[in-house]
Structure 1
Amino acid sequence: MTRARNALIDLSSTSYYHLIARCVRRAFLCGQDAYTGKNFDHRRIWLVERMKLLSSVFAIDIAAYAIMSNHYHLVVKVNRQQALSWSDNEVIARWYKLYKGSPVIDRQLNGDALSEAEQLLVSELVEKWRSRLYDISWFMKNLNEFIAREANKEDDCTGKYWEGRYKSQALLDETALLSCMAYVDLNPIRAKVANNLEDSDFTSIQERIKHLQNAKAKAKKSNQNNKTSHQTKQPNSLKPFGAREHENTLPFSLLDYLELVDWTGRHVHRKKRGYIPKNIPNILVSLRIEETVWLDRALSFGSDYGNFAGSQTVLRAHAAKNDMNWYKGVG
């Protein structure tokens, strides 16, 4: 049963969400189309650049992404408090980076005197724009409309480009967040289009690995002795890893996460060349997650959960909060 979007996105329960959008047409979103012989890899660049631009404008951080041939995945965090802390001028400046704005606000920016009624209208518009700048639906609408327009222009056609409205999953606890991010980052491995994380093109984990490698190379070249200096250097366009005690970071260590996803990826293809470590990654030990439970969640995340993901206890509590008897993933 289709649920209203406001029932799926509840910022009082979680600020983390898994978002998926899929093409409706036979033409590929990106990649090599065996039917037409055309290559659409450049559309991946459109998508990555646009979502990063939107993230810099909206109060929405990108935690993970994977751009596949006919769909894409995003894991985002909504920073509502950040948006509420913006001044009116900052809200206006951010909105004008994407939209035309309003004549009355244009007049205010030009220094014109406004009547009391016009000043009230300005305040109402600013608050409306502020709420939209931390709204996932507005974020996804802008992203998908931009890609659809560019693809239709390139294909010299009109019509619907996306399958329908985007799908969303609320990530209700840390295990759900961690397993969903790993699931997203491992998409090319599962699809057999890459054999390792470094070759998993257009994924957040490849971007994080390359950034880390470059930071380590620069540190070595400059003869830095601080062994942990490279760990703090992460892509500015992605939500950084940190620890629970660090504000505005993912509550895990970057190196622990890389080790975990690499270890998990080695279980995707049983015959994959290389050594599968017998020791369980430290992050599973610290979060008290059993090895078999983790592998089941991370490798089948997309089929195990519906619009909400989390432990059975969390799912039952959230279902009761929304007057539901059951959510997929319980039982």
Structure 2
Amino acid sequence: MTRARKNLIDLASTSYYHLIARCVRRAYLCGDDKYTGKNFDHRREWLVERIKFLSSIFAIEIAAYAIMSNHYHLVVNVNKQQALDWTDEEVIERWYQLYNSHAMVDRYVNGEQLGEGDLAFFSEIIAKWRERLYDISWFMKNLNEYIAREANKEDNCTGKYWEGRYKSQALLDETAVLRCMAYVDLNPIRANIADRLEESNFTSIQARLAHLKSCTNKDTVKTNPPVKHEDSFQKNQPSQLKPFGGSNIKHSIPFALRDYIELLEWSGRLIAPGKAGCIKQTTPKVLDSLNIEQVHWLESIQRFMHQYSNFAGSKQRLKQQAAMNDVKWYKGAG
């Protein structure tokens, strides 16, 4: 049974969400369509650029993404407090990048003195826009509608492009965030269309590694003595993605980037059949720190979508969330 979105997205419980959207029927987001012989790889660029653009407007940060042939995955963090801290002028500037101007708001922007009634109406408008600018549904609306219009224009057709409304999973704890991000970033390796993280096209891990390599090379040339490699991992991160930082750094993903890359490389060698390279016998540092067993980790990054439904987390967190929503249980707790 379809559940109301308000029952699936609860910022009081978590700010992290896994979002998935899939094309309808055989509509291709990217890649080669064997039925028509057409290649749609350029649509990946549309999606990545649109995601970056929207994240610069909304108070929604991108932790991970993977653009596949007929669907895509996002892991986002909603920064509600950031939106609440914006001035009215900042809200207007951001909203106007997406939608046409509003006559009442234009009067305020142009310095016109508003009466008490008009000022109250203006405040209502700004409050509504501010709320929408940290609303996942409005983010996804602006993402999916844009891609659908562009694809239909290119295909010279009309009609439905996406299979249905986007799917969401609330990530209730740090372990769920880590598992889901790894599940998303390892999509191309799991699907046998890439052998290495650097070759996992249109994923956030590829973007992070490319940016890290570029910045590390620059630091090595420009600094004397060169920047320590360990420091470059934390400092050199792409601005369009939510940064890794560890538990002691505010407003960051609560893990070190170096540990995350090590974890993905180790996991990729285990889940990819015939993958070349030596597999370390030691457990990655981040799994030890979170007390996650290897077998449970590998199962979760291959079957994350099947292990959980709309909520993902430890059994305790799932039971707590179920009790809060007045339901008996959530998938993954049993």
1:80-159 equivalences in 2 (<5 Å): 80-159=80-159
Find out whether 1:235 has 2:238 as its counterpart. yes
Q: CA deviation at 1:230?
A: 1.4
Corresponding residue pairs, total: 331
Cα offsets for 1:21-69 (capped at 9, x unmatched): 0000412111111111111111000000001110000000000000000
Give the distance between the partners of 2:48 and 2:125, measured in 1 at CA. 30
283, 301, 319: which one aligns with 2:286: 283
* Secondary structure, aligned partner of 1:266: helix
Give the distance between the partners of 1:39 and 1:86, measured in 2 at CA. 42
Cα offsets for 1:177-215 (capped at 9, x unmatched): 000000000010111111111000000000001111111
Equivalent residue number for residue 79 of structure 1 = 79
1:1-331 equivalences in 2 (<5 Å): 1-223=1-223, 224-227=225-228, 228-231=230-233, 232-331=235-334
* Secondary structure, aligned partner of 1:169: strand
Structure 1 segments unaligned to the other structure (5+ residues): none
Q: CA deviation at 1:98?
A: 0.7
Cα offsets for 1:57-88 (capped at 9, x unmatched): 00000000000000000000000111111111
Give the distance between the partners of 2:30 and 2:178, measured in 1 at CA. 27
Give the distance between the partners of 1:272 and 1:51, measured in 2 at CA. 31
Give the distance between the partners of 2:54 and 2:98, measured in 1 at CA. 8
Q: Percent identity?
A: 63
CA contact (8 A) 2:262 2:284 kept: yes
CA contact (8 A) 2:220 2:227 kept: no
Q: CA deviation at 1:226?
A: 2.8
Q: CA deviation at 1:302?
A: 1.3
Cα offsets for 1:75-115 (capped at 9, x unmatched): 00000111111111111111111111311111211222322
Give the distance between the partners of 1:56 and 1:270, measured in 2 at CA. 38
Give the distance between the partners of 1:323 and 1:27, measured in 2 at CA. 39
Q: CA deviation at 1:277?
A: 1.1
CA contact (8 A) 2:195 2:272 kept: no
Runs of 4+ in 1 over 3 A off after TM superposition: none
Q: Name the amino acid aligned to 2:210.
A: K
Give the distance between the partners of 1:268 and 1:245, measured in 2 at CA. 31
Q: CA deviation at 1:153?
A: 0.4
* Secondary structure, aligned partner of 2:271: coil
CA contact (8 A) 2:182 2:301 kept: yes
TM-score, length of structure 2 as denominator length: 0.97
Give the distance between the partners of 2:278 and 2:135, measured in 1 at CA. 44
Structure 1 stretch 189-198 or stretch 160-169: which is displaced more? 189-198
* Secondary structure, aligned partner of 1:9: coil
Give the distance between the partners of 1:139 and 1:27, measured in 2 at CA. 22
Q: CA deviation at 1:243?
A: 1.1
Cα offsets for 1:209-258 (capped at 9, x unmatched): 11111111111112443314412110000000001111110000001000
Give the distance between the partners of 1:261 and 1:309, measured in 2 at CA. 20
Structure 1 stretch 126-135 or stretch 208-217: which is displaced more? 208-217
Give the distance between the partners of 1:115 and 1:313, measured in 2 at CA. 53
Give the distance between the partners of 1:162 and 1:178, measured in 2 at CA. 28
CA contact (8 A) 2:172 2:311 kept: yes
Give the distance between the partners of 2:80 and 2:246, measured in 1 at CA. 21
* Secondary structure, aligned partner of 1:300: helix
Q: Name the amino acid aligned to 2:19.
A: L
RMSD: 1.0
Q: Name the amino acid aligned to 1:91.
A: V
Q: CA deviation at 1:262?
A: 1.0
* Secondary structure, aligned partner of 1:77: strand
Give the distance between the partners of 1:255 and 1:192, measured in 2 at CA. 24
Structure 2 segments unaligned to the other structure (5+ residues): none
Give the distance between the partners of 2:257 and 2:132, measured in 1 at CA. 31
